Structure 1
């Protein structure tokens, strides 16, 4: 793109000057904000790159190519200025094209040349050779100017939070987008959102947050790999934070939604990172992310592989209070996972208003698990009558496939008017085999062997169509549909060894088929003024659920339709204080693990199974939130009330020292709570974020002939502090406390634990070193106690401390990945 050329013939000097002046005025209108103010005069000239070509005057052609020094990548829109040697004023010039090249003419003779671009040191050429009326500057390499970059960041547009009707919108300014940081770093700048050093995202202290890309589930937001971190800040337009979703979103309950909206077009070039992690216990992995952007395409890819180990320590007590017999067990296990994954995709910008996206990912996991558990049985006099060792060896292969197609159309009439279609599919298989050896140390029982086999296949499909239509400036209508298909087949068998022959246990062997289809239709209407706004909506969902146990021919069909209304309002007192209130009806459908009737026999005295007759939970959710921005602090206070019917709780039964638990629908629950969270950053080297949630609940219900009416409370709190230390060191310390609470049968013990992270940037942020320690004091122990008239149960599980070290290298236009993104089970 050599510039704008204007030819003139037989013109006077005055006419030439007039045409030049008009051309400069036109150039000023199309000049971009990327150019520093000191170069503005030059820019007004370079966009009329060719001087007037007069037939009677000789012309000098100036050519060359501009690259940046770090990776020898071309620089687009670099300024090539021709300046008068005496007055230092610009005479003419050009800007570089996509590949960094330039070519333009000048009729001047006494001049020098400057080559510049924002954030890079300017190069000046005064001694050049003119051959055949041509100046060939060849390849010009520009080096970074850190002082200039710092000045741009200070003066750049700042990221800002807007209060909307049912959400908060964080607009990403150039103070973040120009840094090359990842999307995870941007999320960390949003009030009530926290991303720890391992890349786990929480909203108001809860990690059950749903991540959307452009308003829909995406391969980029999946839990596998580190794809979300490959999105850099300069690709993001804004981020929406939704704590009480409206009827537009799936009625399935979540703790909140974070919607990352990408820009239509981004800076062209390559960015990416390579990350290596090692850890104790084993957490060794390598990942490579690459993003290539051109005028029409945005290509993204990721490759990763590694091995992870998850140790476990377990204890349990099963006590028969009628016969005074007890079975104690204690043991440990280790789960090893080898994995490899690849992701590839592309955005195709058909034109400025139409974008097509196609992407897919494939992962393959190999699992190995062993466990050793010691069992002791005692009688009423506390004498050990039986003692044995149960060993387990399990192997499994898990291939996973995810793919998506998306089409988004924007309209010229209004920037918020859009049509979005997306199709997301996934499949997962598990082929698993387990062997159990029971060796008796004390007692008259004989040794015995068991084995299990699992052939599991899952397929999910989600189709979405959304249309947004603003009108009369302050009104918006949204409408759309969603169709979700879930299909599962689980072939499960338990066999016992008798006389050297394996015999299936008919009570524990079957094929379970699960098929669910959910069709959703919604519409919302909103008015949003400068101070007050209102949004109402309704969503209709029809669910078709079928389960079948093939061997025993036990089937269950459940077809139901529900209306899910929502209403939200907001009142903005000023730019720093806003009130939001909302109501929505939610549903929580039983998951596959809750429906699957097969038993887990790892501990064959503490059996867990599903219930195919389970019904969904329905919740009416009310919330009032105040949002404060006080100087460098942001605070949120919420009062909420949730009324839930058909509450799902696990109920334990007891027979022959064997406890069996399965989920049941048990009555109603009313929860009233208060939540506060805040973020305070008094300086650029220190920030603190805290969350506090307390609620009181009232349970009412019967199961069979037992009443489960009771009241209780629970609370949780977390605190995270971050320090930026000299020499580009960052340190992060977080602590969590969760109080004990009661369910219909069980008391869950309280928990206090802490995590620590340390990060060091080197080579101007291109390389980042990470050290993270999860559960620093190994204090995170999950304990449950169940006390009933005829039995007592105790279960304890401890994972222990995880230490991980990572090194990441960023190349191209982005920095190194700030987070290792380790997945934890």
Structure 2
């Protein structure tokens, strides 16, 4: 499998190299600046088209920048140039001089065309990528917007972004990406592919990709941001789509998305219901190396989940510059989990002395509520001047009960029975204001604030069956309250010229945390204030090659599960618990990236370095064959890595996406007088091939490899797995049939080994193969959900 992967990568690089040398030897560069005739103001987004002199068909194209300048290359020999913009007379150049393989049109003055003001002119024939200070901007051209593609299909054409046939969006191979709509969080973006399926290509103006976020964004760690900018006044009337999915194991769902747009209002809604089953097989070994005894287990489990959800909202366009958005969603889930595990205890002679079965029956209900109000104002003074005010609230509750039974098969162990009860409640509130103010010609200042409130209460109780009566276990019963408030204020200042730019920012965040164990009255308070600077610069050598560099300081606050001290007794020989005394991690991140577009290929090379202090790692202790893991702050870590990702479409029916990431880390830590210093590396690679076949068939094959790597005490094993997807469009693309197979060879296994002088641990869990068939239908101006079959979280 590895040899096939390496062969594909070699063929990809060879093709790219040939394309590169051919393009370099034959290109003619066309450049100029587009101005408004009466005011001499630059015309941004003017369309520059290169057309064939004989067929009149477009060869390539671009758009003008904020300063009106443009530059484009072509290897054509018989062509003419057309410059156009909505409401202005089109300029056509059929004769021109070529000097040193350059055509300099100098200043192009466009005059108003009052007769054409009611017409809509096309934008760039070909989608183009612009390179800005801390982001890349992908302007959606007619090649995508006229094909009826969905938002996820457009995303799949953006450099560094990949979308699987099931709708999983990844940035540089990492799925931890935040998706925004018009620069702000949205219920459409926070959902999965079904939600984004209601956005189609001709609604999208541009897509912004941010791989190293500036101080404008939360300092909390993130892999990157994708911002989808929607055009105005598109898709009026009633539009929508519906999907039905059936899978083995259970992956059954129905979804309906509706959208109605009028001159002032945009109403949107979604509903979904479904049933899913997640089976798993597990194996554990707990071995005492001092006494040479062990406890081993093998088991299987089924997690069944029934869910339903509804989302409804509206955009109210007060006028062209003011929009208010109201939205809300509600979801209800019912969970059932059943498991059986066979345990065996061995003595020092490797003889079984005890054998018992442990069964689990768990039931839970999870209601979820989310509501949001947003106000967005644009200003006539400048198209990029804006004010955004938003308030978001959400709540999540879990009412869960479990029964655990131990039945002895062999040995003297007494039968036992336990029950647990969990009443969990979470409430989150986010208040945000952002203001953007361009000034002079190339400068922009951004400022704003965000206040986030998180309130959690976890009431957990364990009862033991003693003499046919349930008795509370006070050592495992308590109420854990967690309150966190984060106030952030930021300012960024940017200069962006034609070739070079610089953006500096600073973010101030104050964090206040309070935890309380109610029954034992143990409390913990923490209050700290941090500065998070950021700096980004870029240099555009030409339209096809750019260099970017960035620095940002980030924070990773402990998650609730890391703070919650309650034990997990699902496997009472492998106990996991939290640590309310945890401190946050701090990371200084540096990155240098080259962005290359060579013919039909786009290549990105990145070098990065991350230095993290107060690293949070789980430390495992061992006693009486029972392992207990608890997170601790242990030392610091320096990671240096290289990443390559590329996208190449050698043919209209074939595209290849590849990603390779390797990093080396140096850990230095000390915990309870024990040194945890070590060095290591980890790497991953993926290759995805997408084929467009006759009769509107699409096939996607992807392979992933993730190397083994070390943590403080553990070694996590490598993984090699593949996914397959087949899609068929019928009824002029209004209906789409889907088949997806995740983990085709059922080779994906989560496996880890912990080796210490006193003990040895082995843990393995396998999910297996998932096969899903789906059908979706789009009506009105809506498109069928091309990436369906996922539930909303």
TM-score range, shorter chain: 0.7 to 0.9
* Post-superposition offset of 1:215: 2.0
- Alignment-derived partner of residue 562 in structure 2: 594
- Alignment-derived partner of residue 249 in structure 2: 281
- Alignment-derived partner of residue 439 in structure 1: 407
Is the counterpart of residue 492 in structure 1 residue 460 in structure 2? yes
* Post-superposition offset of 1:181: 2.5
Which one of 374, 396, 410 corresponds to residue 406 of structure 1? 374
How many angstroms apart in 2 are the aligned matches of 1:445 and 1:572?
72
Q: Name the SS of the counterpart of 2:561 in structure 1.
A: helix
- Alignment-derived partner of residue 520 in structure 1: 488
- Alignment-derived partner of residue 671 in structure 1: 639
- Alignment-derived partner of residue 652 in structure 1: 620
How many angstroms apart in 1 are the aligned matches of 2:440 and 2:450?
28
How many angstroms apart in 2 are the aligned matches of 1:605 and 1:160?
57
- Alignment-derived partner of residue 741 in structure 1: 709
How many angstroms apart in 2 are the aligned matches of 1:499 and 1:343?
50
- Alignment-derived partner of residue 254 in structure 1: 222
Q: Name the SS of the counterpart of 1:220 in structure 2.
A: helix
Which one of 546, 553, 576 corresponds to residue 544 of structure 2? 576
Give the count of matched residue pairs.
681
Question: Against the structure 1 CA distance between its residues 190 and 225, is the aligned structure 2 distance closer, same or farther, given a 3 Å change threshold?
Answer: closer
* Post-superposition offset of 1:216: 2.2
How many angstroms apart in 1 are the aligned matches of 2:238 and 2:205?
19
CA offsets 1:619-648 (integer angstroms, 9 cap, x no match): 000000000000010000000000000000
TM-score if structure 2 supplies the norm length?
0.84
Does the aligned pair in 2 maintain the 1:200–1:821 contact within 8 Å? no
How many angstroms apart in 2 are the aligned matches of 1:575 and 1:231?
29
Q: Name the SS of the counterpart of 2:562 in structure 1.
A: helix
- Alignment-derived partner of residue 536 in structure 1: 504
- Alignment-derived partner of residue 179 in structure 1: 147
Which one of 675, 678, 696 corresponds to residue 728 of structure 1? 696
Does the aligned pair in 1 maintain the 2:251–2:789 contact within 8 Å? no
How many angstroms apart in 2 are the aligned matches of 1:814 and 1:343?
17
- Alignment-derived partner of residue 328 in structure 1: 296
Does the aligned pair in 1 maintain the 2:244–2:789 contact within 8 Å? no
- Alignment-derived partner of residue 818 in structure 1: 786
- Alignment-derived partner of residue 511 in structure 1: 479
How many angstroms apart in 1 are the aligned matches of 2:489 and 2:559?
22
How many angstroms apart in 2 are the aligned matches of 1:705 and 1:156?
64
Does the aligned pair in 1 maintain the 2:458–2:480 contact within 8 Å? yes
How many angstroms apart in 2 are the aligned matches of 1:315 and 1:755?
25
Q: Name the SS of the counterpart of 1:230 in structure 2.
A: coil
Does the aligned pair in 1 maintain the 2:192–2:790 contact within 8 Å? no
- Alignment-derived partner of residue 88 in structure 1: none
- Alignment-derived partner of residue 595 in structure 2: 627
- Alignment-derived partner of residue 5 in structure 2: none
Q: Higher relative contact order by CA 8 Å / sep ≥ 6: 1 or 2?
A: 2
Is the counterpart of residue 605 in structure 1 residue 573 in structure 2? yes
* Post-superposition offset of 1:410: 0.2
Does the aligned pair in 2 maintain the 1:675–1:694 contact within 8 Å? yes
* Post-superposition offset of 1:683: 2.0
- Alignment-derived partner of residue 417 in structure 1: 385
CA offsets 1:768-809 (integer angstroms, 9 cap, x no match): 000000000000001000000100000000000000000000
Is the counterpart of residue 469 in structure 1 residue 437 in structure 2? yes
How many angstroms apart in 1 are the aligned matches of 2:124 and 2:545?
25
Does the aligned pair in 2 maintain the 1:225–1:341 contact within 8 Å? no
How many angstroms apart in 2 are the aligned matches of 1:217 and 1:660?
39
Is the counterpart of residue 189 in structure 1 residue 157 in structure 2? yes
CA offsets 1:693-720 (integer angstroms, 9 cap, x no match): 0000000010111100010000000110
Which one of 304, 308, 320 corresponds to residue 352 of structure 1? 320
How many angstroms apart in 2 are the aligned matches of 1:557 and 1:670?
29
How many angstroms apart in 1 are the aligned matches of 2:153 and 2:332?
29
Structure 2 gaps, min length 5 = 1-45, 48-114
* Post-superposition offset of 1:156: 6.2
* Post-superposition offset of 1:223: 3.7
Q: Name the SS of the counterpart of 1:644 in structure 2.
A: strand
Question: Against the structure 1 CA distance between its residues 328 and 430, is the aligned structure 2 distance closer, same or farther, given a 3 Å change threshold?
Answer: same
Is the counterpart of residue 313 in structure 1 residue 281 in structure 2? yes
CA offsets 1:329-372 (integer angstroms, 9 cap, x no match): 00000000000000011111100000110011100000011000
How many angstroms apart in 2 are the aligned matches of 1:183 and 1:554?
50
Within 5 A, what are the aligned runs for 1:351-390?
351-390=319-358
CA offsets 1:491-513 (integer angstroms, 9 cap, x no match): 00111100111111111110000
Question: Against the structure 1 CA distance between its residues 448 and 224, is the aligned structure 2 distance closer, same or farther, given a 3 Å change threshold?
Answer: farther
Q: Which runs of 4+ in 1 moved over 6 A?
A: none
How many angstroms apart in 2 are the aligned matches of 1:821 and 1:280?
12
Does the aligned pair in 2 maintain the 1:218–1:424 contact within 8 Å? no
Question: Against the structure 1 CA distance between its residues 422 and 230, is the aligned structure 2 distance closer, same or farther, given a 3 Å change threshold?
Answer: same
How many angstroms apart in 2 are the aligned matches of 1:245 and 1:350?
32
- Alignment-derived partner of residue 214 in structure 1: 182
How many angstroms apart in 2 are the aligned matches of 1:568 and 1:549?
44
* Post-superposition offset of 1:577: 0.3
Within 5 A, what are the aligned runs for 1:40-79?
none
Does the aligned pair in 1 maintain the 2:152–2:193 contact within 8 Å? no
Does the aligned pair in 2 maintain the 1:514–1:548 contact within 8 Å? yes
- Alignment-derived partner of residue 198 in structure 1: 166
Which one of 422, 428, 431 corresponds to residue 460 of structure 1? 428
Is the counterpart of residue 545 in structure 1 residue 513 in structure 2? yes
How many angstroms apart in 1 are the aligned matches of 2:581 and 2:181?
35
How many angstroms apart in 2 are the aligned matches of 1:264 and 1:646?
47
Does the aligned pair in 1 maintain the 2:501–2:537 contact within 8 Å? yes
Question: Against the structure 1 CA distance between its residues 306 and 270, is the aligned structure 2 distance closer, same or farther, given a 3 Å change threshold?
Answer: same
Which one of 635, 648, 671 corresponds to residue 703 of structure 1? 671
Is the counterpart of residue 617 in structure 1 residue 605 in structure 2? no
- Alignment-derived partner of residue 140 in structure 1: none
- Alignment-derived partner of residue 137 in structure 2: 169
* Post-superposition offset of 1:279: 0.2
* Post-superposition offset of 1:228: 2.1
TM-score if structure 1 supplies the norm length?
0.81
- Alignment-derived partner of residue 756 in structure 1: 724
How many angstroms apart in 2 are the aligned matches of 1:295 and 1:257?
31
Q: Name the SS of the counterpart of 2:216 in structure 1.
A: coil
Q: Name the SS of the counterpart of 2:197 in structure 1.
A: helix
Does the aligned pair in 1 maintain the 2:198–2:782 contact within 8 Å? no
How many angstroms apart in 2 are the aligned matches of 1:614 and 1:235?
46
Structure 1 gaps, min length 5 = 1-31, 34-93, 98-116, 119-151
Does the aligned pair in 2 maintain the 1:768–1:818 contact within 8 Å? yes
Is the counterpart of residue 337 in structure 1 residue 305 in structure 2? yes
Is the counterpart of residue 391 in structure 1 residue 391 in structure 2? no
Larger Rg: 1
Which one of 752, 760, 765 corresponds to residue 792 of structure 1? 760
